[in-house]
């Protein structure tokens, strides 16, 4: 097709705009692979948040200038303003359950000014029950020493039907255990206590999970409660797993252990059911001990895995565990 210089110039410019638009859509689709989230049904005061992940597929840094929310029911927080090539970041969407009620939703407009100006729209929705309140709105355990069993509770306050009940409280993680207790009931007002315990075998690191409170409401039976914290290793043991091989009853085997702690410690005892354990007394408090332990199976020893329990002394005594496996003849 023939065209004059000016017409051709306009055509090229239009094609460039289309190409730039398509390219922008392409990389933003890669960057924002999750663009919507439904919180479902939540209680008044419940901590309700969702992190939208962002990945930078470009060869230049991404800069998020700002995020606008179309509704005050949601507060967006830019957690990673600059995201380097190949790295990930996030935008936190916080549902404002203490101050809003009913069906709510918001469009979050993410404004990116580098390396290219573009806007990306995210969406959150949810329903905030006006008849059910968590107090406090989450269970935050803070820092937990691994091997400790800890528990906390929150109250559930309800106003409405006289026959309302919590029928179940359940976690998807076996090391998070939840239970319920009805505290009082008067007419249409009900109060429950939800207790959440973290077991000794909780994995090391940060966790944020949900405990689902199930009620006898037909339309909105399931309400989530956020449970979070960080499990820290007060002691680290190397090796963590002791494979002692095939042994006869009374046959001793020695293992060299390296135990590190956050604070200076002594070692008061090392115990394992069905085994005699011997080691030189460690009475000088240090942050690390390297020593030899002699393990001897007794008649009550089994060929199954056994837990080795190490108990420390010092100002802040703690308990740590390792795993022992052996084929006892």
* Span 172-181, pLDDT tens digits: 899 999 999 9
Other CB atoms within 10 Å distance of the CB of residue 99:
10
Q: How far apart are CA 125 and CA 122, in angstroms?
A: 11
Which residues is 45 bridged to in the sheet?
none
Q: Is residue 303 pLDDT above 90, yes or no?
A: no
Whether residue 2 is predicted with pLDDT greater than 90 in this model: the reply is no
Per-residue pLDDT tens over the stretch 281-296? 888 888 899 999 999 9
Of the options 2.60.40.10, 1.10.630.10, 2.40.128.20, 3.30.1490.20, the CATH number for the domain spanning 136-232: 2.60.40.10
Residue 234 has pLDDT above 80, yes or no: no
* CA-based nearest residue to 306, from 288, 322, 295: 322
b (16+ CB within 10 A) / e for 42-63: bbbbbbbbbebebebebeeebe
Query: What is the mean predicted confidence (pLDDT) over 316-324?
Result: 81
The angle subtended at Cα 273 by Cα 271 and Cα 276, nearest 5°, is 60
- Does residue 311 contact residue 284 with C-beta atoms inside 8 Å? no
Q: How confident is the model at residue 20 (pLDDT cuts 50, 70, 90)?
A: very low
Query: What pLDDT score does 17 carry?
Result: 43
Average pLDDT over residues 116-137: 93
For the stretch 237-271, what's the b/e string if a residue is b when 16 or more beta carbons lie within 10 angstroms of its beta carbon? Answer: beeeebebeebeeeeeeebebebbbeeebbbeebe
Can you give the pLDDT at residue 328?
A: 86
Task: Read off the pTM.
Answer: 0.66
Instruction: Give percent above pLDDT 90 in the chain.
Output: 61
C-alpha to C-alpha distance for 279 and 293, rounded to whole angstroms? 5
As a whole number of angstroms, the distance between CA 261 and CA 236 comes to: 7
Q: In this model, does residue 16 exceed pLDDT 80?
A: no
Classify domain 235-328 at the CATH class level: mainly beta
Please give the structure tokens belonging to residue 297.
Answer: 């199976």
CA–CA gap between residue 148 and residue 260 (Å, rounded): 17
Structure tokens at 15: 């094609």
**Average pLDDT, stretch 248-269?**
89
Q: Rounded CA gap, 296 and 253, in Å?
A: 7
- Kindly report the average pLDDT of the chain as a whole number: 87
User: Which class in CATH covers the domain with range 24-129?
Assistant: mainly beta
- Give me the residue label for tokens 């969702």: 50
> Where exactly does CATH 2.60.40.10 map onto the chain?
24-129, 136-232, 235-328
């Amino acid at each position: 097709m023939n065209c004059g210089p000016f017409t051709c110039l306009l055509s090229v410019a239009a094609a460039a705009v289309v190409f730039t638009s398509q390219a922008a859509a392409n990389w933003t689709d890669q960057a924002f692979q999750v663009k919507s989230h439904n919180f479902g049904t939540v209680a008044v005061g419940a901590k309700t948040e969702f992190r939208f992940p962002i990945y930078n597929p470009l060869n230049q840094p991404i800069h998020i200038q700002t995020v606008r929310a179309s509704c005050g029911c949601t507060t967006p927080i830019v957690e990673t303003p600059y995201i380097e090539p190949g790295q990930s970041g996030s935008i936190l969407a916080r549902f404002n359950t203490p101050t809003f009620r009913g069906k709510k939703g918001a469009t979050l407009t993410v404004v990116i000014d580098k390396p290219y100006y573009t806007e990306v729209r995210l969406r959150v929705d949810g329903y905030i029950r006006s008849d059910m309140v968590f107090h406090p709105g989450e269970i935050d355990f803070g820092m937990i020493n691994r091997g400790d069993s800890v528990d906390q509770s929150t109250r559930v306050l309800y106003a409405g039907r006289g026959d309302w009940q919590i029928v179940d409280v359940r976690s998807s993680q076996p090391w998070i255990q939840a239970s319920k207790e009805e505290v009082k009931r008067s007419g249409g007002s009900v109060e429950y206590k939800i207790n959440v315990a973290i077991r000794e075998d909780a994995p090391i690191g940060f966790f944020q999970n949900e405990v689902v409170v199930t009620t006898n409401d037909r339309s909105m039976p399931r309400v989530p409660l956020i449970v979070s914290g960080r499990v820290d290793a007060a002691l680290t043991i190397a090796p963590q797993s002791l494979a002692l091989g095939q042994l006869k009853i009374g046959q001793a085997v020695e293992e060299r252990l390296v135990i590190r702690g956050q604070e200076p410690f002594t070692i008061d005892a090392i115990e394992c059911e069905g085994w005699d354990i011997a080691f030189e007394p460690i009475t000088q408090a240090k942050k690390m001990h390297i020593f030899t332990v002699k393990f001897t199976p007794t008649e009550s020893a089994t060929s199954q895995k056994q837990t080795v329990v190490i108990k420390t002394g010092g100002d802040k005594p703690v308990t740590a565990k390792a795993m022992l496996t052996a084929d006892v003849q």
